[in-house]
Each structure stands twice: as C-alpha cells, then as structure tokens.
Amino acid sequence: MAGTVLGIFPPHCESTGTLSVPSTTTAFLPTIQSIEGSAAAANTIRQSSSLSLKKRGEGYGPPLDNISQTVGNTPLVKISDRIAPPGRTIYAKCEFFNPLSSVKDRLALSIIEAAEEDGSLKPGMTVVEATSGNTGIAVAMMCAQRGYPCVITMAEPFSVERRKLMRMLGAKVIVTPKAGKGTGMVEKAKELAEKHGWFLCHQFETDANWKFHYETTGPEICNDLKGMKFDYWVTGYGTGGTFHGAGKYIKENSPGTKIILAEPGAANLIGSGISTERNDDGSPASSHPAFNPHPIQGWTPDFIPLVLEKGLDQSIQDEMVDIPDGAAVQMAQALAKNEGILTGISGGATMWAAVETAKNAPEGSVLVAMLPDTGERYLSTPLFASIEADMNEEELEIARSTPNFILEPSGE
C-alpha cells in the first residue's frame, strides 16, 4: 500500500537467520547492566542471546516523514522459564511497540490508506468508527496526522482512559449505553455516518483489516523466526483481522505451524456453533445469543465479526482454547512482575493460552503469542483493581526504617 513502505520495511531491518529486532526495541529493554551490577555480566548475556540487536546509540535510521511510518516491525521477546513451561520456548509478539501502543495501529493505517486510494475518503471528510478503544485511539492518531475530523462511538463499560486518549488526539467520543453492548455502538456509528455523510471505517467487515496483517504481521513473525522452529502461533480475536491475515500468511509460509485461537469461556461465540445474523453490509443484525460480559476488553464483541468469519471459513485455526474467568488478569500481572512486560488483559489471555498449549506440546516446541496492547490502557479495569496507589504496610515499614521524609497515612 502507498505510504507504508518505511513502516513495513525500514532500513534498519536485518535478515541474519536469527531474530531481527528494530532498533527502537533497545530503547525499551531493561538495563541489562544492572544485573549483577556489572557491564561484564551484560556482555555475557548479550553474547549468549539468540537475538540480533542493533547497538544502542546507532539510531533508528533516516528520519521519517510522519508517525504512521512507525507502524509495524514490532519485536518478538522471549519469555523466561518463570512463566514458560520447561523445555518449551515462548516468544511474545509485542504489539505495544506500535506508536499508539496497540496492534490496532496497523488496522487504522490500512483502513485510512485504502479509503484514500479508492476515493471513499476525501479531504475534509469526518471519519467515524465504533470501538472498544484501541481502534478508536489508532483511528484518532491517523486522523490527527492527516487532518480528518474524527468521531468515535464506544460502549459505556470500556475504560475511561481510552476515552481521554481519543479526546487528547482530537477525536469526539460518543459513549453508548451499556445495555446496547457492542452492537449498540456499531449501530450508532452507522447511524451517524448515514445521517451526516461521514466515512465509516467498518473495521469488523473491511478486507483492508486482514490484508494488512497478511502483508505485515505474518511476514514479520516468519522473517524473525527464519531458520528456527515455529510450532504454534497463538492469538485471540477482536475483529478477527490479526487471526485472519497473519494466520493466513503463516499457514501458507509455515504449514507445519499450528494456529491456536482463543476466546473467553464466558463468551464462547465460536464454540457455540451459532452464526451471527448480518445486515446487507455484513455488520451484525443482532447480539449473539452465546455472548456474556467478560473482562477481556478488545476481545470478542457480542457478535462474530465478518472479518473473523471469513478466516474461520478457511479453517485457518487448528485448535480453540477457552480462557477461564480470572486467568487473563492473573497472567497479565505475572508478565509484569516476572518479565517486566506490561501488557493488557487481552495480552494476558493470549499468553495464558500459549502457556497451556505449551504444557501439552512436545518438548522443544516453539510458540509465538500475540500481546495486542499495553497495560497502561487498563488503569481503571480489574487488571489494576488490586494495585494500590497508597503505601501498604510493607512499604511503610521500609519508609520508617530511616528517620526522615516519612509520609504517614492520614489519620495517624
């Protein structure tokens, strides 16, 4: 697609037969020199690593024209044996390295560019879309960069920080009632587009969604694992674009790789075997009867998206995994505390599915799990419900261990 060349194949990418990681990765890696307090220890770790890293300070490459060119080329990061089962290797595809910190940056770029190319999006038009948050943030980014007014519809239960981020990017956010679920926000976006002549993104229906993942996400994974084993790829679904596009590419180029698709046990839409009723444009005509509310924001709306259905029709998936209640939050917290990887509830769900798959996989298996976004997008959700802002007793004890600058709790 026009305008995406630098975002897909930037000049700093290398093909060495080992993992190729963009230079931006090094800016976010933990300071290895702190391990054992010496640079020598860091050098040992670097030399023993299978990663092919650019030297810090070498730079990203030539300056870019705009923020959209930073979309894609996100790194694979190995998960330690504190989480990965013994004898199995799990890599996380860290989509929070995209400019607005989620996999949906890919979708927004693709939809906007495809619409510009076919003439359905003209200069000055307002862009409208329904979203649980990440797509809206990404669409707002693209609209800000290209000068389009942006209106987002979002159901009431989704985190308030997402609304604030979209408004920070210049978008208008229309919050729809909780009772309407995902179909309600979709219908509201459709109504607004028809009433005002706005461009509707149709993220759940457009082929531009999955095709961009076919052109970028799938090739990135296969290229970074070139010459290595690649036994399982694990993902969940929101629109189904990542699953459909990257999954299709992986199946064609690494046919021995099994594709694992996960969904919440509380919202077992695919597992129910019941189809979604559709309008003429492919959008959902009603809420799916198997849907129940679940905490994995961005995953599994109350309908089976058309983009997902088209992927399912090709039998891209080899296995389905149901995520039990609480597992996604627990795994996301474990990734933060054990790996220094701050991902959201959907990332925790995908990693839980990957770990469970790895437990039953042959020894020596290599798995890749998608981490769709950052944990910072979930501050007001169950992911952070157990994380206190004030000092706990253990922290107070540390504070009191020296005599000065002690902030005692109010009331004492």
Q: What phi and psi values does residue 334 have, to the nearest 5 degrees? A: -65, -40
Domain 104-207 has CATH 3.40.50.720: no
**346 within 8 A of 237, measured Cβ to Cβ:** no
Q: What phi and psi values does residue 33 have, to the nearest 5 degrees? A: -60, -20
Per-residue tokens: 125: 């038009």
Per-residue tokens: 157: 């239960």
Pairing between β-strand 76-78 and β-strand 89-94 as defined by DSSP bridges: antiparallel
**172 within 8 A of 151, measured Cβ to Cβ:** yes
**339 within 8 A of 82, measured Cβ to Cβ:** yes
Whole-number Cα distances in Å, 80 to 311, 341, 363, 376: 32, 11, 16, 22
Q: What is the pLDDT of residue 133?
A: 87
Q: What is the SS3 assignment for 8?
A: helix
Q: What is the pLDDT of residue 411?
A: 67
Supply the DSSP symbol for 260: E
User: What whole-number distance in Å separates Cα of residue 107 and Cα of residue 205?
Assistant: 12
Number of neighbours of residue 356 by Cβ within 10 angstroms: 20
Q: How many residues does the chain have?
A: 412
Q: What is the mean pLDDT of the chain?
A: 88
Residues of the chain with pLDDT under 70: 1-52, 411-412
User: What whole-number distance in Å separates Cα of residue 165 and Cα of residue 168?
Assistant: 5
**184 within 8 A of 176, measured Cβ to Cβ:** yes
Domain ranges of the chain: 7-68, 69-97+217-384, 104-207
Per DSSP, helices labelled H in 119-174 are 134-146, 160-168
DSSP string, 177-210: PGGGHHHHHHHHHHHHHHHHTPEE--TTT-HHHH
Whole-number Cα distances in Å, 408 to 263, 387, 392: 45, 19, 11
Which residues belong to the active site? 104, 346
Confidence (pTM) = 0.85
Q: What is the pLDDT of residue 412?
A: 52
Per-residue tokens: 32: 């290895």
Check for a shared fold between 69-97+217-384 and 104-207: yes
User: What whole-number distance in Å separates Cα of residue 108 and Cα of residue 120?
Assistant: 15
List pLDDT tens digits, range 385-401.
999 999 999 999 999 99
List pLDDT tens digits, range 285-320.
999 999 999 999 889 999 999 999 999 999 999 999
**189 within 8 A of 153, measured Cβ to Cβ:** yes
Per-residue tokens: 89: 């290797």
User: What whole-number distance in Å separates Cα of residue 319 and Cα of residue 235?
Assistant: 11
Q: What is the pLDDT of residue 16?
A: 34
Pairing between β-strand 366-371 and β-strand 89-94 as defined by DSSP bridges: parallel
Q: Which CATH class is domain 69-97+217-384?
A: alpha beta
Q: What is the SS3 assignment for 295?
A: coil
User: What whole-number distance in Å separates Cα of residue 329 and Cα of residue 348?
Assistant: 6
**370 within 8 A of 354, measured Cβ to Cβ:** no
CA 206 from centre of chain:
19
Per-residue tokens: 386: 């157990």
